[in-house]
Structure 1
C-alpha cells in the first residue's frame, strides 16, 4: 500500500472515517481504523460493533493494499499536519508499519492485519428510499434531544416510521414528546413493521446523532432498512448500524385531537419570558413553571425560597385557561424546536397535556405533560 494525497482531503476522509471508533475497546483491533487503498481510492473505516462508518476519497495510488492503525492516533497526527501539504503514506509489510510523511515530518504507526478487523457486512437489501440532508435534519435534530433514559426502554431511541402518508420521527422522555415529519418518499412503506403493525424502526440516540453528523449537508442519501439494520450512504460515505428492538408506545392519542382551548402567542416573546424565570425554577420541583390565562395574556410565573417572578405574554386566548405547571426546561426545548413566529398552545387539563402546534410549520408537533401546582401564583398577573 502506497499513496499520496493532499493533507486537507486526507483530514476530511479521516474525520468521517474514524467517527465510529470506540474509545477503549478490550478488543485491541477494534480501536483501529481499517485503511484500504484500491482502484485509486482511499477508504478509512471504524466500527464499535453496533455502528460502522467508511469514508472514501480519491488519492494518487502507487500500490494498493490494506492494514489497520490506531484510529485516535491517526486522527491526531493528520489534524496536526500543516494544512495544504502533500502527504505520502506507505505500508511496510516486512516491519508491519505504516509510515506517514509530510514535508520533513515522519510518523510511524504499528499495524494489525486488515483481515482480522471486525467488519460489518453492508447488506443492500430491504426497504430502499432516498432523502437529503435537509430531510434528515428536520426528522432527527429535535427528536434526538428528548429521549428516555429508562434502561431497555424502546423510548431510548427515535421512532422512524410511516403514518398518514408521511415519514415521521418521534422522540420522547415520557413527559415531553416531539414529532417531526416529511412527505413519505417512495419505498419507505416497505420498512419492516413493529410489534403493532406500523412500518417503522427505532434508532438509538447514538445512531441518530451519527447520521446527522455524517449526512446533514448531503444533497442526497440512499437509505436501506431491514429488520435488524439501517444503511445510509453517499458516494463518499457509508454508514450502517444495528436497530433497537422493541415495540414503540402508541403515542398517537397524545398528538391528535387538540382541545378547543387555545393560546396563540409569539414564540420569541414566550421564550424570553421562560428564559427570564428559568433561573428560579428548582430541580427538586422538576424545574416547574406555573402558567395560566388572564385578561392581560398568557401568564408565566415561578416562586421559590431563592426568589421568583411573573411575566405576561401577549396572547390571543380562546377558552378558559386554568393554572397548570410545566417543566421550564421542556418548555425551552419545545419553543426552540419551532421556527415559526406564531405558535398555538392547547392546554388540555382533562388529558394532562399541553399540545404545541404552528400553522406555518405543520411538520412539527410537540406535547408536554402537565405538572401539579401548589400555589395560586399563576392565576393572574400580580406585578402591578
Structure 2
C-alpha cells in the first residue's frame, strides 16, 4: 500500500507540474502576444502620426512657396496686373474723397483663393510650431489625443480671431444692436477695406475648412458637417455678392462666439482638466440655446417679415437693368439656406443635450461630434 501510495503521489506531482508548466507557458505566450500587439499598435500610431505630420509640413511648404512666389512675381511689371489680384483688394473707388471704399466683383475670387492658401499656411504653422510643443509640455502622448488637441487648438485660435474681428466691425457699425439698420438704406455695395477683407477672408476660411474636413479623420457626423460647410459657404459667398453683408456679419459673430466655448472645452478635455471642461461645456450649451436657437431664429423672423418693407424706399427693380437690385428669388433662397442651417443647429442641440446629461450625471463632457472614427 505504501509503495502504491508513493507512486500515486509521484504521478500526481508530475501531473501538477505539467499543468503548472502549461499555464506558465500559456501566460508567457499571452504576454508575448500582448507585447507584440502593443508594439504593433505603437508602431501604427507612430506611422499615422508621421503621415499626418508630413501632410501638415507639405501644406506649410507648398503654401509658403505660393505666397513667396506671388509676392516676388508681383514685382515684375508685366505680371503685376495678374498677380496683384491675388494680393490686394480690387474695385477701389478712386473718386471717393472721405475714405477708401471698395466695390464688389468677380475678381474678388482671386483674393479668396489667396486667403485659402494663407489660412493653410497659418493653420499648419500654428499646429506644428505652436500647439505641438504645448502637447509635449503637457505630456499628452496618445496620438489620438495629440491630433485632436492640435485640431481643436487651431479651431480655438481661428474662432477667437474671427469673432473679435467681426465684433470690432459690428460694434463700430450703424447697425450695432439695431436689426432695422441692417436693411435701411440697402443696397450696401460699397464697403471699407477692413469690412471687405473680413468678409472675403471669412469666405476663404470656410472653403479652407471644407478642405480640412476631408483630410482630418472622419467623424460620425461627417455628412452633417459637410452639409453645414456647403450651406455656410453658399451663405457667405451669396450674401457678399448680393450685398447682404451686414446681416452676414451679425450671424457670423453669433456663430463664432458659440464655437469658442466648444473648442475651448475640447482643448481642456484633452489637457485633462475635466472639471473646467465641464464648466466650459455648460457655457457652450447655454450660448448655443440663447444665440443659435433663440437670437438666430429672431433674426430669421425679422429678415423674412420686415426686411422688404425697410428697404422699399431704396430698392431698385431688376427689370430696369440696374445693379444691385432686390430679387425675391435670391432673397427666398437666402431664407431657405438660413432655415436649413437652423435645422442642423437643432439636430446638434439634441446631441449636445445628451452630453449635458452625462455631465450632470457625473460622467464628464465628451466630444459632441464624437472622436470615434467611422
With the length of structure 2 as denominator, give the TM-score of the two structures. 0.24
More helix by share: 2
With the length of structure 1 as denominator, give the TM-score of the two structures. 0.23
- Which protein shows a greater Rg? 2
Higher relative contact order (CA 8 A, sep 6+): 2
